[in-house]
Structure formats: structure tokens, C-alpha cells
Amino acid sequence: MPLGAGLVLVVAILVFPSLAPNPYILSSGVIVLNWAVLATAWNFVGGFTGYISLGHGALAGLGGYATGLLITKAGMPSFGALIVAAILIAALAVPIGFAALRVRGASFVIVSIALVLILLLVFQSWSSVTGGSRGLVVPRPFPGMLRPEHHRVFFFLYGGLLVLALLTWWLLDRSRFGMGLKAIREDEDKAESLGTPTFAYKLTVFVVSAAFTALAGGLYALWFGDLDPVFQFSVLTGSYIVLMALLGGVRNLFGPVLGAIVVGVALEYFKAEFGSSPLHLVTTGLLLALVVMFMPDGVIPSVTALVQRLRKREQSSIREVTAADLAEQRKRDREEANT
């Protein structure tokens, strides 16, 4: 199943740019893939450990600003800056994780929101470096390239990053390290009492998640070319990421990707149809409520469970029919023997 779904995803990534009817649709595809990478990166923490972070949007913002500043201030080449920025954000995630991962539940959610708000204030106020409210303009890595081809290149870059993130998640899921993370998700105290180094495991997977999130944020900076702290450090971004992961199913490899496709396409559609009106926020809130009420485990687990129930019911019906036929046949055999 993962191999088949993975092949379908790779084929879809390869053919979509050729099927996109115009550059706007292609640019929307880049945005959806960006969401898919962010949701998958979030799932390293949320899916494995059960810790719900609303602050991952801030890590993406840090990745974008770090990439942009390394290019504009340090004169680094675009993709070299992207890699260095991801390493720096992963290193920064260590002290952030030391502080945030010592609390659980609602306290962890509050800490993650506080991180977003603090970074928003810092990047808005530090205008001499970040550009403040004016934003930061990031030079394009391919200055002579036309916009449609620019979208196409970054669509494939995001597709490659998504495949890498999914492969990493899949490998962790089958490793001893992944088993320890899932033990933390089920019962952290019990896992610790059985000898699992829970804090070290949480911190490690948080750093891995931060690295992929920073790569997605850095790619966005190179693609879009203009960073605004209000957008980059928004609690709403983290909320969208969590919604996407929950919608698809956090314990499933492709759950966040499915959620990102559904929510990402819906967001782009409502923004195109209704502009800057808050309607897309209302629909997103309603979608989140429906998911929590009717599909708390996500779409993929819910559909899988439904198929399994129908299959068991069908097999049960077949067994009942077979037993009835067998009894009828035995009855006829006895009647023939008596005659």
C-alpha cells in the first residue's frame, strides 16, 4: 500500500505541471505542495509523539528569513543559503525543544503559540536587519527565467522535498527509534519507566521536524521572493498545518499529504472566489469541527476502518449462506438415503 500510493504521488508530481492549464494553477500547485511538506514535517512530532504544536509555522518563517538574510546580507548562493539555513534552524530547535518539550498537553500548545508571537514581535521590530513591516525581498535564484518556468522548477523542488520527508517518516516508523516515539504517544510515563529516554527521543524528532520545516520555508522564500513577518509568523499558519494533518490522519504516512491537498485546494479556491474576505477562515473552522466530531482519527483511518467493517460483514454473510447451503444439502442427502 505505501509503495503503490507513493508511486501514484510521484507520477502525479511529474505530470501535473504539464497538465496545469495556466501559470496560476501551477503556482497554486506549488502552494499546495508547500503545505504538504509542512504538514508532513509537523507529523514527525504530532504523529509520532502526540504533541500538538501550533508553532511550526514560526519554524517555517525562520527558515525563510534565514535563507533570505544569508543571501542578501552574507552574499551566499541561493541553494547554499537554503541548506545552511536549515542546519541553523535545526540547531536553534535544540534550545527551543529543551524549553518547550518539558511541558505536555495544553501547556505545550501555549508554549508553541508564545514562540510564534515572540518571533513576530522580534522580526517586526528589528527592521534594520529583517526589513520590519516593509518585509524582506529575496532575489530569485533564476533571475532570467520566465514566471511559468519558475513555478515549474519549484514545483519539482517541492515535490522532491516532499518525497524525501515521506521516505524519512516511513523509515522512522519502522525503526526502533520510531517504536520508542510511538510508546511516548501512547503513554509517556510508562515508556519512561520501561527505560525509553523519552526526552532525548522527543528532542531528536523535534529537530528533524524543524529541519524539514525550515527547508519548506526557505524554498518558499526563494520561490515567492517577498517575506512579510505578519504572514510568516502567524498562528493561523500553524493551525492550518494541524488541520491538514488531522484531516488526513496523523498516524498514516500519507495522511498529512491528503489533508494538505484537500485544505490547500479549498483555501486557494476560496481566496480566488472571495478575495480577502474571512469566508475561507469560516469554512476552515467548520471543516476542523467536522473532522473532530465525525473523523477524529482522520480520513484515511476512517475510510480504512469502514472498508474493513464492510469486508467482514460480507465475509460473515458468505459464511452464513455457505452454512445454510451445507445444512440444506445434508437434509436432502438424508431424505434420499431414507427413500
pLDDT, residue 266, reads: 85
Residues 209 and 323 placed together within one structural domain of the fold: no
pLDDT, residue 151, reads: 95
Residues 252 and 118 placed together within one structural domain of the fold: yes
Say which residues have a Cβ less than 8 Å from residue 163's Cβ, sequence separation at least 6.
6, 9, 10, 13
Residues 163 and 73 placed together within one structural domain of the fold: yes
Residues 197 and 55 placed together within one structural domain of the fold: yes
pLDDT, residue 297, reads: 65
Which residue in the block uniquely carries the three cell numbers 517518516? 169
- Evaluate whether 252 touches 298 at the Cβ level (below 8 Å): yes
All three cell numbers of 296, joined, read 477524529
Say which residues have a Cβ less than 8 Å from residue 43's Cβ, sequence separation at least 6.
169, 245, 250, 255, 256
Residues 149 and 200 placed together within one structural domain of the fold: yes
Task: Identify the CATH number of the domain in which residue 217 sits.
Answer: 1.10.3470
- Evaluate whether 147 touches 26 at the Cβ level (below 8 Å): no
H helix or E strand, kind and range, residue 327? helix 299-338
- Evaluate whether 32 touches 268 at the Cβ level (below 8 Å): yes
Write the CA distances from 48 to 3, 251, 292, 325, integer angstroms: 21, 7, 19, 49
- Evaluate whether 183 touches 191 at the Cβ level (below 8 Å): yes
Residues 220 and 291 placed together within one structural domain of the fold: yes
Residues 87 and 122 placed together within one structural domain of the fold: yes
Residues 162 and 290 placed together within one structural domain of the fold: yes
pLDDT per residue rounded down to tens, the chain (339 residues): 578 888 999 999 999 999 999 999 999 999 999 999 999 999 999 999 999 998 899 999 999 999 999 999 999 999 999 999 999 999 999 999 999 999 988 889 899 999 999 999 999 999 888 998 888 999 999 988 999 999 999 999 999 999 999 999 999 999 999 999 999 999 999 999 989 999 999 999 999 999 999 999 999 999 999 999 998 998 889 989 998 998 888 888 999 999 999 889 988 888 887 766 677 677 777 777 777 677 666 677 767 666 777 777 666 555 555 555 666 667 776 666 666
pLDDT, residue 172, reads: 95
DSSP 206-234: HHHHHHHHHHHHHHHHHHH-EE-HHHHT-
Residues 190 and 321 placed together within one structural domain of the fold: no
All three cell numbers of 211, joined, read 529541519
Q: How many domains does the chain have?
A: 2
Q: 331: domain range? A: 301-339
Residues 48 and 145 placed together within one structural domain of the fold: yes
Residues 107 and 174 placed together within one structural domain of the fold: yes
Residues 177 and 317 placed together within one structural domain of the fold: no
